[in-house]
Amino acid sequence: MYNVSNSDKMVNDSFIVQNLSFPIALHYVMAALIFLVAAFSIVGNVLTLLVLYSQKKYSQQIKIYRMQLAFSHVISPMATYWMYMISSLRGKWIFGQIGCSFYGFVQGFCALLSILIFAAIAFNRAHSLTAVSTPPINHTIRSSIFLWMTAFALSSPPLFGWNRYMIDGLGTTCCFDLHSDDLPSRAFVVYMLIFGFIVPLAIIVVSYRKVLIVLLNSAMFKKRSTALQYTDENSNTHSFIQASTSYRMRRVAHFAHQFIS
């Protein structure tokens, strides 16, 4: 076990510290890995932001959501990974309780925001299949503000006394307190699980189920219309079906292009 110094006594007095006896070589390996992850994440997502900003072919709604997703993946490593790396080189958390709360909040906020944005992208794609017109940009901006506020509401309660941020893992990172058995701590975990995971996951599953059904129905509709084309090329019914199919397939093709891109 590590010796408790005056600099980290505040953390050990306020947080449950578990599993602190690890070989120092393991901490060095983690420091090297976290440096590589941070470097690739920052460079990759900055390039993603530049590409999305310069491209005009993407749907503006999806483009805004993707840019926010890439931005959150830049904030997280820039703001906190250096704390993880330095603590790993020291073999213990060295930034005290305030640093632990900062690290845990930023990590939790960015992770929850990413999940919420994935749900928003799924809902937007499903809605675009049946929407008569494209929603205005102001609608997407308001939705984005709501997502950021929701992520803050899910990750900030430990800062105000509901649950807490504690040292976890190898003793060099911080996260929500998932170990306490008291009722408020359990209530917070359930609250975060429902609104930060179950609800977004349900939106993603339902939205892409709708997308799959529309694509399958469109493929079956095209197959039937093709069969009718060979049986009655000159009928008015065929002309109507062909026109309807052309319109629906254009919508599906446009959506598929956005989906792949």
Map out the domains of the chain as residue ranges: 9-196
DSSP secondary structure letters along the chain: -----TTTHHHHHHS--------HHHHHHHHHHHHHHHHHHHHHHHHHHHHHHH--SS-HHHHHHHHHHHHHHHHHIIIIIHHHHHHHHHTS--SHHHHHHHHHHHHHHHHHHHHHHHHHHHHHHHHHHH-SSPPPHHHHHHHHHHHHHHHHHHHSGGGGTSS-EEEETTTTEEEE--S--SHHHHHHHHHHHIIIIIHHHHHHHHHHHHHHHHHHHHHHHHHHHHHHHHH-TT-HHHHHHHHHHHHHHHHHHHHHHHHH-
CATH code of the region 9-196: 1.20.1070.10
Q: Mind listing the pLDDT tens digit of every residue in the chain (261 residues)?
A: 334 344 444 444 444 444 456 788 888 999 999 999 999 999 999 999 998 888 776 677 888 899 999 999 999 999 999 999 999 998 889 999 999 999 999 999 999 999 999 999 999 888 877 765 666 788 888 999 999 999 999 999 999 999 999 998 788 999 998 888 889 999 999 999 999 999 999 999 999 988 888 878 776 656 666 655 555 554 554 454 455 555 555 555 555 555 444
- Tell me, what's the pLDDT at 4? 38
Reported pTM:
0.76
